[in-house]
Chains A and B, each alone.
Chain A
Amino acid sequence: AQSVAQPEDQVNVAEGNPLTVKCTYSVSGNPYLFWYVQYPNRGLQFLLKYITGDNLVKGSYGFEAEFNKSQTSFHLKKPSALVSDSALYFCVERGATNKLIFGTGTLLAVQP
């Protein structure tokens, strides 16, 4: 079965430092991958997606993700973290009929 793995339950980073949230995927062939963010008391928000093309995908709020086929990874990155980036981040894979398959989420905590 398709799945995505987020090995870190929580990532702590100081404001201004670069951040990375890790994700690995399972589907063979050409995966269709997303990152979504969930802020407290707000709905899930789309950040970025990878379909084909450049391995570095740019998204909202200064986030980007690097697709690595040989490592089956799709890590989320940002050069300089903000306190307001603190939220729950989900790596997501597209399944059949375009339903989304979510990872377990990584809580990002950015300290001032």
Chain B
Amino acid sequence: GQQVMQIPQYQHVQEGEDFTTYCNSSTTLSNIQWYKQRPGGHPVFLIQLVKSGEVKKQKRLTFQFGEAKKNSSLHITATQTTDVGTYFCAGLLSGGSYIPTFGRGTSLIVHP
């Protein structure tokens, strides 16, 4: 079945440093979504990428979808303590019921 691998599992950074998490799918995706889960909270939808090679920005967050639509990345510039949480990617296949397959998540720890 479809697998979505996400690395790294954990990332410690000093406040102000950049952060990147990577997602790779074993199969070509229709869409990829990114979610953020704060400690003790629930996942919150951040963004969805649909097009091959697509790049979207939300303030300090940059999301990319690979040309082959099998990988994606989330990059945070100049991290802040409010960025702490676990970032999940979720891949969706076309032609089906759009059931998202989640990566295991990357937990970001920002040290002040």
A binds B: no
A residues adjacent to B (C-beta < 8 A): none
